[in-house]
Structure 1
């Protein structure tokens, strides 16, 4: 769908152009209007308090050396390129994004229309979301937010959408989903239906383990992207469906989606995609209880990844967890946990360092008090901050398990179980 409804953008703002060009050239209203019109007439024209006579406008523009027809072409070119740019960003068309961005930045210097300027600011925010520059995105959105009362409904919807994507970059999935859903509803109310929002609703709900909702949005987006031949988004939707069908135990359905994506990844020599799908199939077999196949596919996944990548850490974590479930794999599990601790420090990744430390303290450390204190003082505050409901529930249950069998701490153990149950109930609502 289009981010810009061209019909909603007025023609060239002649008054603003005349005023800005006059000031840029250090010409007074008296000098510019001399022999053409009165100063009062020019003032009203510049402030859009009247529509000027075509002949007078022509004479004023001639004196300022302003070519309105050329400016109109620039304006139309600007709108067309913004449209292309938004589509390229939404479809992750890397080869086109940078070229279009540089072209738009150049065109923007000649644009006077405030609505077009606002669209450019919105697309600037979307560009820096693509670049994962949270600081820059927040700065741009902050500036747009100051003009919130002047935004059209469409602009407000995309402001909320991009604010949601910024929250997603920060790992605040619930806040992100709320904003994207608000944007989706607002666009619906004005007759728009941007399926990239629906895709992001699927992605965010998948992150939050809202399985049914994620499947619903994924199927909706998948159908549209298949019709549009948007293969990148088709693959993204199929992966989300594979993940969520796995979660509900529909392993054959999930595997069907994964194998489709795997064929595409191998055919296009996309190592990142192949590595990702091998990991997901490994997780599927882990959930299914087929641990040997799980280890096989997790290990395959690592061959397509580099140690510096977050996805490598993720696969190491699941591989270690699977080894721990096998009675004779303790040494292999310890090796993977220690590898994960080392790599997470090198990559400065707090989340995975905490996860590997949890595994290490529970399985390879005899001091359970140290483990419990780590869960209470480090893990719970961290996952609360990230609004990671699943990890938080897991911590509550782990502490409950440690305490409930000790008569001295039975009540405290029950308290943590209740915390986990209440959190799960709240999340379902």
Structure 2
């Protein structure tokens, strides 16, 4: 609600603004109706004693057990996160808050700015921890930060760095936490490494654990991850088996979470089987399911465009590239933006507009290198180099092959920096 709505019938909009900006201090007569208007516990605003260790522990325990944080509990944790708490308690509070906001963003990216502010605050307040103190709170906080970078900030390299720190302390964790960590590492490595077999090795460890413990929700998550990784290495039968088995475990409670993922990846399998019309149908269905998840919409646009290119359906290709590239650029999804730019360049090539193809492909190579997308840079430079080679333009071809070779070297250096 805006200031006018929040202040209506309580005080003037001007006075409310002064309270918000700390120019005046409201008394009890104002705080009680304001708290009621906002649907929070007025006692939190009136109490002189804010921090209560037992209450912090109870809220955190309930959150990690249920995954839910009520409005009053959220407000309380937000308040105490600014207090001079013992470090262990601060880690506990920020771990809950970070995971809560990541969960909110996964449902609606409108909370992205709140998540960013909270992450930056936690980085400023929390000391750099050494050893395994405050486990499992330290583990939960670090894993939440990793998820924030992977799912919200779309920075998979920094996401992996958080998990690499946790992985060095594996001996301290329970089997459940090891499985959670292995699962999350597999997702991130799938994004940043060419060698998908490494991601498969990590997800296999999580798969074995959750299958044995019959943790259905997490087991489905791992099955979906492995299904995606299988089709990326060309093991379509294994991929289809994973998605089919996962689909059988989905019920009414988790359908909203898992059905779009299953539909999307069945579309990918259809695409790889050259069943492009069926693939487009699946991706269109997913596009509607992700009405409030623009980043997921980008993936759908890109996949529809790929299949439209195969079918030479030019109006559909143009529609998807127009919507998908604008959205990807707005969200900072550079990998997807570059890949859709490549599809547009393929269109120029197929239409035999070779002047435009050459110009835009060179620009794409430079942009991929600028954004340190070394795998894409190598792919695009190789393709353009081969194009010039086939036309006897050997000098241009040599320049492009050198760029491709340098990109491959930088990718190997990138892996070394990650400790891979």
TM-score w.r.t. the length of structure 1 is: 0.67
Structure 1, 261-270 or 176-185: larger mean CA deviation: 261-270
Residue 13 of structure 2 corresponds to: none
* Inter-partner Cα distance in structure 2 for 1:134 and 1:318: 29
- Aligned residue for 1:404, secondary structure, equals helix
Deviation at 1:249, TM superposition (A): 2.2
Partner residue of 2:206 out of 221, 242, 260: 221
Q: Is the 8 A contact 1:272 1:304 kept in 2?
A: no
Q: Contact conserved, 1:399 with 1:416, CA < 8 A, in 2?
A: no
Match of 2:379 among 365, 382, 394: 394
Paired position in structure 2 for 1:81 = 59
Q: Is the 8 A contact 1:214 1:240 kept in 2?
A: no
Cα deviation code 1:150-171 (max 9, x no counterpart): 9826365555444433432433
Give the RMSD, CA atoms, in angstroms: 3.7
1:408 aligns with 2:386: no
Paired residues for 1:43-82 under 5 Å: 75-82=53-60
User: Where do 5+ consecutive residues of structure 2 fail to align?
Assistant: 1-47, 105-111
Alpha-carbon distance change, 85 to 215 in structure 1, aligned in 2, over 3 angstroms? same
User: Are 1:358 and 2:342 matched, yes or no?
Assistant: yes
Of 76, 88, 92, the match for 1:115 = 88
Contact 1:206–1:240 (CA<8 Å) still a contact in 2?
no
State which structure, 1 or 2, has the greater radius of gyration over its C-alpha atoms.
1
Quick check: 1:158–1:183 contact (8 Å CA) kept in 2? Answer: no
For 2:292 and 2:91, locate their aligned partners in 1 and report how far apart those are by CA, in whole Å: 41
Match of 2:197 among 208, 212, 220: 212
Which of 342, 354, 361 is the equivalent residue of 1:372? 361
- Aligned residue-pair number: 344
CA pair 269-164 structure 1, distance change in 2 beyond 3 A: closer
CA distance in 2, matches of 1:113, 1:413: 57
Where does structure 1 lack aligned partners over 5 or more consecutive residues? 1-65
For 2:304 and 2:381, the matched residues in 1 are separated by 24
**CA deviation string 1:168-200 (max 9, x = no partner):** 2433323322321221322x2335441322221
Q: Does 1:127 align with 2:100?
A: yes
| Deviation (angstroms), 1:309 | 2.9
Matched ranges for 1:144-155 at <5 A: 144-145=126-127, 148=129, 152=133, 154=135
The residue aligned with 1:35 is none
8 Å contact kept, 1:141–1:159: no
Instruction: Give the TM-score normalised by the residue count of structure 2.
Output: 0.68
1:339 aligns with 2:320: yes
SS in 2 for 1:225: helix
1:137 aligns with 2:119: yes
